[in-house]
């Protein structure tokens, strides 16, 4: 197997989804500019090129509002599954494993193994930070995307306000506006539904070969870690 | 990638995505419109209106735009405030507030003679 083939095989999950992301964003850009230009032509307005549309506030807010909700979903799920369990779900730890676990269970500090990451072995603040880095990076991207949504959303909404003979809004005004929260909550509700569905469906339903599922023959009240 | 998005959005959003050329063009059209009315030059003022706004000036009457538009009350053309968001703009000048739209052949006045209403949209003498 060549180095490239091996690289593709070993990173197939990440690469496949990055490819799907790219394809979907390109598709969104083409369909978005077509929709916007259709509206502009119908009202005699100026049309945008694809490049102008991709740099516009309406494209940015559509992207950012979806990204922030996805990062929120993962940040919450990563942290919530530390403390919340679901009997029988492959998405959950066992009922008696609630919490962050002991140093020995987590293989940190003096319990670190030879191939453990350096910050897992270091102890103190570095190990504490590293032990929360996955949730932290998801939270960071959530907040960054939410900030991007608020700025781009304000720009797009202010365009609509001026078209309706109204004054533009400040950023502070926009983040407390119905438009901002309607965009935000309609994305959040779908993420929360998806998490609840996954946690519950995984109790009774199986996907043969997927690490997201219990073994096909596993009992309904068994977790993924049960033999 | 989220970082790249944030940089683009922050750069664009904080500046309102406008450049100085666009700003001066918007300002020029608004000032020219108000000045034309103050100079009693209705024909020039009407040329700066969108076609919808031009139609609205005459309304149901058969008075020409160039005559009817002179009923818009103006009081000076000193620019106090300019906002541009996408293809929409607002200029506060003199005693008036003017709304503009960017069309394929440039910025044009969409609404003029506008006075703010508490908790509602501006009330405009010319509305396209």
- pTM, entire model: 0.89
Task: Name the B residues in 2-61 with CB < 8 Å from any A CB.
Answer: 2-3, 5-6, 8-10, 12-14, 16-17, 50-52
Rounded to the nearest angstrom, the minimum Cα separation between A100 and chain B is 29
**The predicted structure's pLDDT at residue B61:** 77
Chain B nearest-CA residue for A45: B103
Chain B nearest-CA residue for A144: B6
Q: How many residues does chain B have?
A: 128
- Among A46, A57, A145, the residue with its CB nearest the CB of B13 is A57
The whole-angstrom separation of Cα B125 and Cα A138 is 52
ipTM score here? 0.88
Rounded to the nearest angstrom, the minimum Cα separation between B125 and chain A is 12
Per-residue pLDDT of chain A (227 residues), as tens digits, is 799 999 999 999 999 999 999 999 999 999 999 999 999 999 889 999 999 999 999 999 999 999 999 999 999 999 999 999 999 998 899 999 999 999 999 999 999 999 999 999 999 999 999 999 999 999 999 999 999 999 999 999 999 999 999 999 999 999 999 999 999 999 999 999 999 999 999 999 999 999 999 999 999 988 756 55
- Among A56, A63, A165, the residue with its CB nearest the CB of B99 is A165
**Does the beta-carbon distance from B88 to A154 stay under 8 Å?**
no
**Does the beta-carbon distance from B5 to A60 stay under 8 Å?**
yes
**pLDDT tens figures, A9-26:** 999 999 999 999 999 999
């Amino acid at each position: 197997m060549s180095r490239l083939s091996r690289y593709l095989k070993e990173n197939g999950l990440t690469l496949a989804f990055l490819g799907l992301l790219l394809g979907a964003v390109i598709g969104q850009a083409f369909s978005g500019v077509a929709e916007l230009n259709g509206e502009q032509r119908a009202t005699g307005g100026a049309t945008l090129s694809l490049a102008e549309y991709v740099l516009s506030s309406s494209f940015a807010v559509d992207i950012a509002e979806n990204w922030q909700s996805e990062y929120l979903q993962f940040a919450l799920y990563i942290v919530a599954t530390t403390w919340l369990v679901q009997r029988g779900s492959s998405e959950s730890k066992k009922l008696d494993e609630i919490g962050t676990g002991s140093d020995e269970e987590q293989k940190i500090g003096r319990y670190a193994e030879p191939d453990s990451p350096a910050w897992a072995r270091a102890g103190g603040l570095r190990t504490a930070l590293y032990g929360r880095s996955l949730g932290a990076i998801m939270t960071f991207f959530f907040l960054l995307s939410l900030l991007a949504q608020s700025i781009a959303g304000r720009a797009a909404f202010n365009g609509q306000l001026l078209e309706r003979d109204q004054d533009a809004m400040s950023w502070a005004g926009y983040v407390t506006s119905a438009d901002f929260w309607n965009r935000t909550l309609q994305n959040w509700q779908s993420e929360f539904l998806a998490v609840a569905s996954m946690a519950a469906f995984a109790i009774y339903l199986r996907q043969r070969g997927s690490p997201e599922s219990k073994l096909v023959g596993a009992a309904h009240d068994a977790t993924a870690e049960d033999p | 990638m989220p970082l790249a998005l944030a940089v683009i959005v922050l750069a664009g959003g904080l500046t309102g995505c406008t450049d100085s050329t666009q700003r001066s063009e918007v300002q020029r059209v608004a000032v020219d419109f108000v000045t034309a009315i103050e100079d009693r030059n209705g024909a020039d003022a009407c040329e700066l209106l969108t076609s919808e706004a031009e139609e609205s000036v005459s309304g149901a009457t058969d008075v020409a735009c160039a005559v009817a538009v002179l009923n818009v009350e103006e009081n000076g053309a000193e620019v106090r405030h300019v906002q541009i968001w996408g293809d929409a703009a607002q200029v506060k000048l003199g005693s008036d507030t003017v709304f503009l739209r960017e069309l394929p052949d440039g910025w044009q006045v969409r609404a003029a003679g506008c006075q703010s209403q508490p908790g509602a949209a501006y009330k405009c003498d010319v509305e396209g």
